[in-house]
Amino acid sequence: MGSGRIGGYLIAAAVAVTLLASAFSRHHIDAALAPLGYALLTVSGLALLARRRYPVAILVVTGLCVLGYQAAGFDVPAVAFLFAVYAAVRAGHRWVTVAVSVVLVAALPAAVLASGQPVGAAFAQARGALELAWLVAAGAAGEALRQAERRADEAERTREETARRRADEERLHIARELHDSLTHQVSVIKVQSEAAVHVARKRGEPVPEALLAIREAGREAAQELRATLEVLRDDAAAPRPGIADVPELLERARAGGLPATLTIDGAPADLPAAVDRTVYRIVQESLTNVTRHAGTAAATVRIGYRPSVVVVQIEDNGTATTDSVLPHGVGLRGMRERVAALGGRLQAAPRPEGGFRVHAELPVERAS
């Protein structure tokens, strides 16, 4: 369990306890309405557990709870609503938050009047329950943090783009150096050895085995050097694949004879570029391992979007084992290193019912 989730539980519990303690310290509460009031106070505090996943819904729920317990005669500040305002504004729902807050401020006096308070006392109690200054402060804090997170995300994207551009420039530089320094020498070796073989045969002389080996090595070296230069140049210009390219990856797997299905859970969200690419690489490497090591098998790929993590799971019903997908220390080890570098975790193990499972969770937001 992450520190952010633990913090969320602690905040919700602390708010609920604070509201109930404030209610217990009050007097003149109608005994008939007391259970309803205590229940609404508890709900308004514990509802904050879902404030990140459903910020607007929790904003409305806590607002209704405030109206409910004020109407029941509980003169308790709207602390939970302020936390909900902060969460909703941080999530980017500024105008919805303003609208709900205006409605609550307008409806609070009526709710207090329903508890039997005189008009003057009702307005004073409503003003005390939801101070406008605290309301504005909660909204401002949420907006400030949202802007800070947006700037941090932009800075991270800029760093990634800069690093990618430098890597591309380095690849092109290496390609130029290889071309300038090696291509000519390899070509000379190839041409000279072929010429020597041709002359020897033309004269009817036996061709030494060493000379034939040099000619073949020159040809292979020229081909490999050309292929290496093409790869370096193509890598520098090629776009980086991500989750959007996973369906195409599965199409290629199916075309190669591997039955593969894809399931997406949750609403797709914008992910950091490094996370997006890593999910693709995990699926790519896992499908490659299934093809190589699992025998006759079918694969299922599941990608799940959660509030703070993206989950990717690949399962097959083949015969692979942990050792068979880790030749020479690579494969899953490389995936683990990618995931660990992003603060995530990866599990890979045979399934009890047969086959193999790769399960990875990658964080997509900072803990707060």
Q: Looking at residue 69, what is its pLDDT?
A: 83
What does DSSP assign to residue 48? G
pLDDT digits (tens, 9 = 90+) for 131-187: 666 777 777 888 888 888 888 878 887 887 777 778 777 777 777 766 666 766 777
Cβ atoms of residues 281 and 335 within 8 Å: yes
Give the pLDDT score at 330.
Answer: 46
The backbone torsions φ and ψ at residue 299, rounded to the nearest 5 degrees and listed phi first, read: -120, 145
Q: Is the pTM of this model over 0.75?
A: no
> Environment class of residue 261 by beta-carbon count within 10 Å: exposed (0-12), middle (13-18) or buried (19+)?
exposed
Say if CB 249 and CB 303 are below 8 A apart: no
- Outline where 238-331 has alpha helix (H): 246-255, 273-293
Q: How high is the pLDDT of residue 3?
A: 57
Q: First and final CA of the chain: distance in angstroms?
A: 13
- Could you tell me the strand order of the sheet in which 356-363 lies? 260-265, 299-305, 309-316, 356-363, 345-350
Q: How many CA atoms lie within 13 A of 191 on its CB side?
A: 6
* CA angle, residues 5, 10, 12, in degrees to nearest 5: 95
Interatomic CA distance for residues 254 and 228, integer angstroms = 29
Tell me the CA distances in angstroms from 265 to 4, 222, 247, 268, 306, one per residue in order: 22, 49, 14, 8, 9
- The three-state secondary structure class of 303 is strand
281-322 tens-digit pLDDT: 899 888 888 877 656 678 999 999 988 899 999 998 877 555
CA distance 260 to 242: 18
Pairing of strands 345-350, 309-316: unpaired
Q: What does the pLDDT read at residue 312?
A: 95
Inter-residue contact 225 to 182 (CB < 8 Å): yes
Q: What pLDDT is attached to residue 328? A: 38
What are the pLDDT tens digits along the chain (368 aa)?
A: 555 677 777 887 888 788 777 777 665 566 677 788 888 888 888 888 888 889 999 999 998 998 888 888 787 888 888 889 988 988 888 889 889 888 888 888 887 777 776 777 666 766 666 766 677 777 788 888 888 888 887 888 788 777 777 877 777 777 776 666 676 677 778 778 888 888 888 888 888 888 888 877 777 777 777 767 666 665 555 566 889 999 998 988 888 788 889 999 988 888 888 888 889 989 988 888 887 765 667 899 999 998 889 999 999 887 755 554 444 334 677 788 888 888 899 999 888 888 889 999 999 864 33
Question: What length does the chain have?
Answer: 368
Structure tokens at 85: 């305002």
